[in-house]
Chains A and B, each alone.
Chain A
Amino acid sequence: MSSGLDLSQFYETFFDEADELLAQMEQLLLELDVQAPDIEQLNAIFRAAHSIKGGAATFGCFQKLAETTHLLENLLDAIRRGEMALRVDMVDTFLETKDVLKSQLDAYRASEEPDDAVYERICAVLRQLAEEGPGGEHAAAAPAAAAAAPVPTPEPEPQPEPVVAAPVAAEPATAAASGDLPTRVHIRKVSEKDAASLLEEMGNLGHVLASDRSGGALTVWVQTSCSADDIEAVCCFIIDADQLQITREAPPAQAAAAPAENSIEQFEQAAATFAPQAAAPTAPAAPAAPAASAPAAASRPARAQQAPAADKESTSIRVGVEKVDQIINLVGELVITQAMLAQTASTLDPVLHDRLLNGMEQLERNARDLQESVMSIRMMPMDYVFSRFPRLVRDIAGKMGKQIELQTYGRATELDKSLIERIIDPLTHLVRNSLDHGIETPEKRVAAGKDPVGQLVLSAQHNGGHIVIEVSDDGGGLSRERILKKALSQGMAVNENMPDEEVWQLIFAPGFSTAEQITDISGRGVGMDVVRRNIQDMGGHVQLSSVPGQGTTTRIILPLTLAILDGMSVRVGEETFILPLNHVTESLQPVEDQLYTVAGNERVMHVRGEYLPLVEMHRVFSVGGAQQDPTQAIVVIMQAEDRRFALLVDHLVGQHQVVVKNLEANYRKVPGISAATILGDGSVALIVDVFALARANREKWAQPEAILN
């Protein structure tokens, strides 16, 4: 620590690692079955805590983090060895501790000191838990007792530790100098292989003075500054705690010489591993035992724990998002250039330029494949979003006294990274809503003849060019009466005979909440309209369906990516626009009989029994020189959410995949336009915002500019 090496360069790695470990810890805690905890899971949680502590202590400047994890680790250790029974409230405390650790980590990351009050409180809670109770064997009470004591920092500390283990016949040794007595570690029933590993560990902890191997037991005298429970923690990777006794005692003078020869060998190895690490000159001059001869070292569990991380590293790399975006942009350029070349090449005589045209075809295929692979880099599994909900559900359910089981499906479904990040907030809101308003309390559920445990299902699946994300609960469903009553009291235009679909849409209105009381979870009525707007901004839409007494399902439909769009290019006057293909249902040439005027100025079109509002592109975007007569033009039937309208354009040009270019990067949002793209000839075409047109259309076309804004 005082090596003069600048450790700060490793901080970032530590923070990242600790972040991952904390996330892992949380997930494991949530999965834990309190009644019958899986020992493997407990071990994994313990190892996570241990690794964070180790890291924090190594750097020496994250005292609070190290301290908190230390307490947590002791508790976990006691539990995993069956000395304490796991209880639900402990899991709660551990989760809370995880949150505190996270905030401490964030504080350190921001080069601040974590909040003292929070730190003190969580430490007190953890100590309290530790004091409450080690049941069972006395010999193994060390960690609990140590946790209860005003805890030693993980920093080396030369104070004698409280000796908890059963006293061993002490033999005052003259060999010991006036200073501290060395620590005597006695391990019963240990195999040859483990003994070797243990010796090596001891060597890592301090200076091994002597070791004795007899009767299946191993005794090591080690001069170390580590506390008893630190030693124990290390040994616990290899053996059980109840095999272990730690006392302070001088080594027997002849101990080193007496035992079987192979333990001497082991001892030498231990000394060899130890010597290069600490600069203590007193190590018995071991003839540097070749490291290769160290048996079984690789099989130590402590190493095995790092293996998964190492595997992950070798199969994935961390790359900055900007780099990926740059590649995507470049590939986009390539596709545009390819389209440009293809356009030029199409004018050539296919017989004369046979080879060129073949090459062009191949280029097109390669460019498309390349684009697809590059786009897949940005794709992330929905698990990234779903994995944060078990905790949320657990917390809220606990707070509200509800019993809720969360199920997730389609965790592997992939979605563009930018969308994944933006979907978190709306989805969280929907989940909170379901928990708060949807699923009833166990009493109510039993009264309604339902299972007291409510089900919340999150699912994601691909559907054509879309991803469909569903949040469904088996709660009480939406109350038609309450929504209508509330809508009336807010002066909305509603009536008793509205179809359900339209009634459900009302809850997306700003300021709408039917919750009887405002809780800190939801009910302020600022939510659903924001949810809908967020999702619309992503180019998606929300659908609601609800059956009274059986539950509510909210369905979010999103495009897979924002970077590429299947578009239909249309011509209006001299201008080209792109319509998103997934909103186009059909196109046709209207005849006079299909068109009717409403209030003189408005026109509707009668298509197969349906009256659709006619939206004239040239009027919306004030294009000159466009075809004014609908019967000479083409109508494209567009579908946005549940609204359909007929869009009047001059003629259709074709379908292509276009690379979406943001207008806001250098300019600003343009009313009625969602983005732009570059056509094969290098010119810019605007992509029509179908939702804006549908919305504006609903509010009439008196002043297109004002409405579109």
Chain B
Amino acid sequence: MAAKPQSQAARVEDQGSEFLVFTLGEEEYGIDILKVQEIRGYDADTVTRIANVPPFIKGVTNLRGIIVPIVDLRIKFNLGSVEYNEQTVVIILNLDRRVVGIVVDGVSDVLMLNAGQVRPAPEFGATLSTEYLTGLGTVDERMLILVDIEKLMTSDEMALVEKAAS
């Protein structure tokens, strides 16, 4: 994916960067493609539940011998209906030597965005702090929420990483 030929326009202006676009309910999100290791189907049978953790942590799964935690971003972002069907996919992320899977409704695109297409994100409510957003991208009337996935995943509120203090 990352190796696909870049459009002439993108090369002339600035290098920009490539984003993997996925959907959560009606919303479209984009994350840095370089953080993505692979995309897999979601199979609830292979995810082992862990007791006494926040509901958005679905459990852990076996990814070719590595134990990988699975996070459902739809639950984390409070997106109403959470269904698991054939389209439900897990994006395996590789963040600073950690491997984490996120459950999303579907993966749609890989898009190249340059600086001109990205606007800073306004301040929202508490669900998704602006702290974890790199901005809002515009592509043909579509709005992409660009997430700093590494920062989000290693944040305290995701409870994926041991707190430094303890």
Contact = CB atoms under 8 A, between A and B. Distances in A.
Interface of A: 329, 332-333, 336, 575, 620-623, 661-673, 676, 678, 682-686, 704-705, 708
B67 A665 contact: yes
Interface residues of B, number: 26
A635 B52 CA distance: 23
A707 to B, nearest CB: 11
**Which of A329, A332, A661, A683 is most buried by chain B, counting CB atoms within 10 A of its CB?**
A683
A666 B95 CA distance: 10
Given A682-B62, A683-B45, A666 B67 contact: yes
A708 B53 CA distance: 12
B67 A669 contact: no
Interface string B42-73: 00011111111100000111101111110000
Interface of B: 45-53, 59-62, 64-69, 98-100, 159-162
A686 B64 CA distance: 17
Given A668-B161, A684-B67, A676 B52 contact: no
Contacts of B46: 682-684
Given A668-B162, A683-B62, A620 B67 contact: no
Contacts of A673: 50
A105 B105 CA distance: 58
A708 B52 contact: yes
B48 A676 contact: yes
Given A664-B162, A676-B60, A671 B49 contact: no
A661 B63 CA distance: 12
Contact of B50 (A665, A678, A686, A704): A686
Contacts of B53: 670
Nearest to B51: A621
A329 B65 contact: yes
A670 B67 CA distance: 13
Given A622-B51, A685-B48, A667 B69 contact: yes
A575 B49 contact: yes
Given A575-B49, A668-B161, A670-B50, A684 B65 contact: no
B48 A666 contact: no
A332 B65 contact: yes
10 contacts: A333-B64, A620-B51, A663-B60, A668-B161, A676-B67, A678-B67, A682-B62, A683-B48, A684-B47, A708-B52
A660 to B, nearest CB: 10
B66 A666 contact: yes
A173 B51 CA distance: 96
Contacts of B49: 575
B51 A333 contact: no
Contacts of B52: 621-622, 671-672, 704-705, 708
A566 to B, nearest CB: 20
B100 A336 contact: no
Contacts of A704: 52
Nearest to A575: B49
A676 B51 CA distance: 13
Contacts of B59: 684
A522 B59 CA distance: 44
**Which of B50, B69, B99 is most buried by chain A, counting CB atoms within 10 A of its CB?**
B50
Contacts of B100: 666
A667 B50 CA distance: 11
A678 B46 CA distance: 11
A683 B48 CA distance: 7
A227 B51 CA distance: 75
A353 B161 CA distance: 48
A633 B146 CA distance: 51
Contacts of A672: 51-52
Contacts of A676: 48, 60, 67
Nearest to B101: A666
Given A666-B100, A667-B67, A684 B61 contact: yes
A541 to B, nearest CB: 22
A367 to B, nearest CB: 15
A669 B48 contact: no
B65 A678 contact: yes
Contacts of B69: 666-667
Contact of A661 (B67, B99, B159, B161): B67
A684 B46 CA distance: 7
Contacts of A333: 64-65
A575 B61 CA distance: 14
A667 B62 contact: no
Contacts of A666: 66-69, 98-100
A336 B48 contact: no
A513 B139 CA distance: 68
Contacts of B68: 666-667
- The 6 closest A-B CB pairs, nearest first, are A621-B51, A684-B48, A667-B69, A668-B162, A705-B52, A333-B65
